[in-house]
C-alpha cells in the first residue's frame, strides 16, 4: 500500500500530520481545492502548483456524466486526463445524489435516479462507484454513502446510517487497490448514539481514513460543531480524519482544534468568482464602489501574484467589466489565503502554539462578514 | 524621444525591424494581442510574458468608459493599472465610434455620441483623445480618425479622409510627449488617389509611425489586399507600418509580404474562447465530437503549455462543461500560434528565406477552414 499516514505532532486535540501517496505527500491539516469537473474553476494545474496546493478534490458524480468513465480510462486515470500530478481525492457521488439527482429511489442494492444533465436513468451501486474510482486511479476514494437532509426523525436517520454501513462493507469488498486509499464516511445525522454506532461499524470494516459526512445539510451551525466535537475524538487516531464540505476559515479553525486533518469546500473559489475576497483584515467585496479608486493591493499581508501585481481598483475594474481574468486573479488570492491559513495552522501545531494563534485569529475574525 | 525604429533586414518588400520604446523593444513584424479593457481576455500579464508577447493593444474608447481616465491617471498610467510592464499601443476610439457608438454626429470640432454602456452623452475631440492617451502614458498612441463604412461614394470618402487629416493635425499639435510615439492613420477607403493624398498629408505633418485604417469594414477581401498593396510602398520606409485590425494568419502573411510591420486582431483570442484552434495541420474545432476520445495534444508541433500538458479530449471536455480554464488554455495556444508565426516570419526575413516559407505555408493553408 503506497498510502500511509503519520502524526508528526499533537497539541491538545489538534494534529499535525503527513499523508504519503504514490503521487506525493500531503501535509495535514490540509485544504483541498474543489475541481468538480476535473478543473478547479479558473485555475490551471500549474497555477495550483505555484499556490502549493498538495491535493485537489474532484467529483465522481460529475465526471461520470462528463466526460464519462471511458475517456478517463483511456487516459490511464484522472491525473493524466486533467494534467495534475499530485494527489487527488474523489468524493463518491453520494452527496450529489442527495443534492442534485432527480427522481431518486434508494434500495439496498443501490440508488436509481435521473441524470440532472440529460434525464438518463442512472443506477449507482457501491460496486459501480468503486469501479469508477478505481478507474480514475485516484489516491483517495470515498465509499458510496446515503446522504440525507437534516432530520429529527431518529429511526429514519438510523435506517439510512445502517444502509450506508452496508454499502461501506460492499465498497471495501470491491475496492481492491494496492496503491490507493479508501475512506469510510460516518453518518448518523445529529444523533450522537448513531454517529458512534456508525464509527464502530466502519472501524470494524477497516478503512485508510474516515470522513464525517452528512453535515452542512441544513442543521444549525451549533449542531454541526457539537457533532464534530463528539465524533472527532472517537475516530481512529492513526488515520486521517476528513470533514467533508467544510467550510469557512472559522469553521476550519474550529475543526482543526477538534482534531480534523482534511477539508474541502467550494467557498474560496466560488466566493472569488463572486468577488468576495478573504484578507487579513476581513472579507472584501471587490465590487463595492469604495474599491474603484483604491490603489492598494487587496491585502498588504499577502504575497500572492494578485496582491503583488494589481491594485484593488484593477480587480474592481475586472469585476465590473466581467473579465475572466478577474475570476482567475480572485481565485488565486482566495486559494492562497486558504492554503496559507492551513500552513499557518500546521506551523502553530508544530510549535505547540495553536492556542494563541486561534485566539488572535478569532479576535480578528469578528470583523469578518461571512 | 525614447521611441525609435530601425530596419534590420529586408527581403523584397518585406521588412525585419525593431522598435525601441521606454518599456522595451518590439521585434517586427509583430502581432499585438488585444486587451480591450486593459486585460487580454482569459490571460494574465504573466502568461502573456511567458508567451513572449512584446506589446499589447488596448482600447481608448472602452477604457474611457471603464474604469475612466481618473483611475488610470491615479495609477500613473495604464502600465501600472494593468500590471503589464512591456509596450502598449492604444487605438484612438475612432473605430469604436464607427462601430458601437449610438446617435453619433460628426463635426469638424469632433464627434458626439451616446455611450453604448449607459447612454451618457460623450463628446470626443482630437484634443481630448490625445489627453486620454497621454494620461494612459502608452508607448504608442493613435490619432483620432473618422472611420467610415465601405462606400463607393468617392466624394463622401474624400470629405471624411480630409476631416481625418484635419484631426491628425490637431492631434499632433496636442501630443507633446517626449517619450511616446504618435501614429497617423491613413484613410481614403478603396480609392487609391485618396489613400495617396492621405499619406502625403500625414507625412507632411510627421508621425513616428503610420497605420492603414478603414479596412475590414465591409469591403471585399480582394479590395483590401489591393489597397494594402498600393498603400504600403507609399508609406515612409523608416517608420513602422501598422495594418489595423488584421487578421487571419493568411492575411498577416500577405501583408508582411507587402511590407507591413505591426498587426492586431481579436481573432486568436476570440476564436480560442469559441473553441476554434489554429494548428500546424489546420483549424481545429475542439467542440467536435471526434475530439471526445482523442488522446493527442492539440498540435504535436506546438510546445505551448496547453499542448505540452493536455489532450484534445480534455480541452473538448472543458469546452463542453464551460470551464473557464478551457478559454485560458485555448487562448494560450492560439496566441502561441500567432506569436510563433510572427517569430518564424521574422527569422525567414532575416535569413532571406521568406519566399519559400510563404509558399510552404500557403500550401498547407489550403486545408484551413477560416
Residue B285 near residue B276 (C-beta atoms within 8 A): yes
Alpha-carbon B341 to chain mean position:
15
* pLDDT surpassing 90 at residue A105: yes
- Residue A181 forms beta bridges with which residues? A140
Distance CA B352, CA A135 (A): 54
- Which of the four pLDDT bands, split at 50, 70 and 90, describes residue A148? confident
Give me the sign of the Cα torsion angle B60, B66, B70, B73.
Answer: negative
- Residue B279 forms beta bridges with which residues? B282
The CA–CA distances, whole Å, from B37 to A360, B65, B110, B144 equal 41, 9, 23, 19
Partner residue opposite B328 with nearest CB, options A44, A295, A323? A44
Give me the sign of the Cα torsion angle A208, A214, A217, A222.
Answer: negative
Partner residue opposite A83 with nearest CB, options B43, B292, B314? B314
- For residue A188, count other CB atoms closer than 10 A to its CB: 26
Residues of A in contact with B40 (CB under 8 A): 325
Mean pLDDT estimate for chain A? 96
User: Which active-site residues of A does the annotation give?
Assistant: 91, 264
What would the pLDDT profile of A278-332 be if each residue is shown by its tens digit? 999 889 999 999 999 999 999 999 999 999 999 999 999 999 999 999 999 999 9
Distance CA A356, CA B73 (A): 44
Helix A249-257 and helix A354-365, axial crossing angle in degrees, nearest 10: 150
| A111-114/A102-106 β-pairing | antiparallel
Residues of B in contact with A320 (CB under 8 A): 66-67
Which of B324, B327, B332 is the mutation pick for testing A, counting most A CBs within 10 A? B324
Mean pLDDT, rounded, for A9-15: 97
| Residue A324 Cα, gap to closest chain B Cα (Å) | 5
Under-50 pLDDT residues of chain B: 370
Alpha-carbon B127 to chain mean position:
23
* pLDDT surpassing 90 at residue A228: yes
Under 8 Å CB pairs connecting chains A and B tally to: 113
A81/B42 Cβ within 8 A: no
Mean pLDDT, rounded, for A128-155: 96
- pLDDT of A81 reads 98
Of the candidates B6, B56, B107, B166, the residue with the CA atom closest to the CA atom of residue B185: B166
**DSSP code per residue over A75-101:** TTSHHHHHT--S-EEEE-SHHHHHHT-
- pLDDT of A368 reads 61
| Residue B325 Cα, gap to closest chain A Cα (Å) | 5
Q: For the sheet containing A121-124, what is the strand order?
A: A102-106, A111-114, A121-124
> DSSP letter at A34?
B
Distance CA A299, CA A329 (A): 13
Helix (H, G, I), strand (E, B) or coil at B40: coil
Partner residue opposite B46 with nearest CB, options A75, A305, A324? A305
Give alpha helix (H) positions in chain A: 45-50, 60-65, 69-74, 78-82, 94-99, 126-136, 154-174, 192-205, 221-231, 249-257, 267-273, 305-309, 312-320, 324-350, 354-365
Chain B, nearest residue to A78 by Cα: B314
Residues of A with CB under 8 A from a CB of B: 37-46, 66-67, 70-71, 74-75, 81-83, 292-293, 295, 305, 309-311, 313-314, 316-318, 320-321, 323-329
Alpha-carbon B268 to chain mean position:
11
Helix B154-174 and helix B126-136, axial crossing angle in degrees, nearest 10: 50
B38/A317 Cβ within 8 A: yes
- For residue B348, count other CB atoms closer than 10 A to its CB: 21
Of the candidates B124, B82, B79, the residue with the CA atom closest to the CA atom of residue B104: B124
Report the percent of chain A where pLDDT is more than 90: 92
Partner residue opposite A318 with nearest CB, options B39, B305, B327? B39
B42/A321 Cβ within 8 A: no
- Which of the four pLDDT bands, split at 50, 70 and 90, describes residue A365? confident
Q: Which segment of A34-43, A198-207, B15-24, B360-369 scores lowest on mean pLDDT? A: B360-369
Distance CA B98, CA B76 (A): 29
Helix (H, G, I), strand (E, B) or coil at B140: strand
| Residue B355 Cα, gap to closest chain A Cα (Å) | 39
| Residue A290 Cα, gap to closest chain B Cα (Å) | 12
Give me the sign of the Cα torsion angle A154, A159, A160, A161.
Answer: positive
Q: Whole-structure pTM over 0.80, yes or no?
A: yes
Report the percent of chain A where pLDDT is more than 70: 99
Amino acid at each position: 500500500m503506497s498510502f500511509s499516514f503519520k502524526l508528526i505532532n499533537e497539541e491538545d486535540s489538534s494534529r499535525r500530520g503527513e499523508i504519503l501517496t504514490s503521487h506525493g505527500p500531503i501535509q495535514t491539516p490540509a485544504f483541498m481545492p474543489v475541481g468538480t469537473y476535473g478543473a478547479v474553476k479558473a485555475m490551471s494545474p500549474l497555477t495550483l502548483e505555484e499556490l502549493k496546493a498538495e491535493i485537489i478534490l474532484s467529483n465522481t458524480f460529475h465526471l461520470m456524466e462528463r466526460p464519462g468513465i471511458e475517456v478517463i480510462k483511456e487516459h490511464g486515470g484522472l491525473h493524466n486526463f486533467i494534467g495534475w500530478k499530485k494527489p487527488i481525492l474523489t468524493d463518491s457521488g453520494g452527496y450529489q445524489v442527495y443534492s442534485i439527482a432527480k427522481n431518486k429511489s434508494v434500495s439496498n442494492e443501490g440508488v436509481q435516479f435521473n441524470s440532472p444533465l440529460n434525464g438518463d436513468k442512472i443506477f449507482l451501486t457501491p460496486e459501480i462507484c468503486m469501479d469508477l474510482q478505481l478507474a480514475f486511479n485516484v489516491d483517495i476514494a470515498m465509499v458510496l454513502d446515503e446522504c440525507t437532509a437534516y432530520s429529527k426523525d431518529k429511526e429514519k436517520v438510523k435506517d439510512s446510517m445502517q444502509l450506508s454501513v452496508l454499502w461501506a462493507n460492499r465498497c471495501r469488498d470491491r475496492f481492491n487497490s494496492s496503491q490507493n486509499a479508501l475512506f469510510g464516511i460516518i453518518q448518523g445525522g445529529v444523533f450522537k448514539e448513531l454517529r458512534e454506532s456508525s464509527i464502530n461499524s466502519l472501524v470494524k470494516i477497516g478503512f485508510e481514513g474516515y470522513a464525517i459526512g452528512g453535515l452542512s445539510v441544513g442543521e444549525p451551525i451549533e449542531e454541526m460543531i457539537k457533532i464534530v466535537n463528539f465524533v472527532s475524538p472517537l475516530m481512529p487516531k492513526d488515520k486521517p480524519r476528513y470533514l467533508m464540505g467544510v467550510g469557512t476559515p472559522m469553521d476550519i479553525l474550529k475543526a482543526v482544534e477538534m482534531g480534523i486533518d482534511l477539508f474541502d469546500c467550494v467557498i474560496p473559489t466560488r466566493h472569488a468568482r463572486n468577488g468576495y475576497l478573504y484578507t487579513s483584515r476581513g472579507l472584501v467585496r471587490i465590487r463595492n464602489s469604495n474599491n474603484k479608486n483604491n490603489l492598494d493591493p487587496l491585502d498588504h499581508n499577502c504575497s500572492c501574484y494578485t496582491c503583488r501585481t494589481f491594485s484593488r481598483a484593477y480587480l474592481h475594474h475586472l469585476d465590473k467589466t466581467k473579465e475572466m481574468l478577474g475570476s482567475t486573479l480572485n481565485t488565486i488570492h482566495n486559494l492562497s489565503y486558504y492554503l496559507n491559513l492551513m500552513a499557518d495552522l500546521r506551523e502553530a501545531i508544530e510549535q505547540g502554539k495553536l492556542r494563541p494563534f486561534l485566539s488572535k485569529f478569532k479576535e480578528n475574525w469578528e470583523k469578518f462578514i461571512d
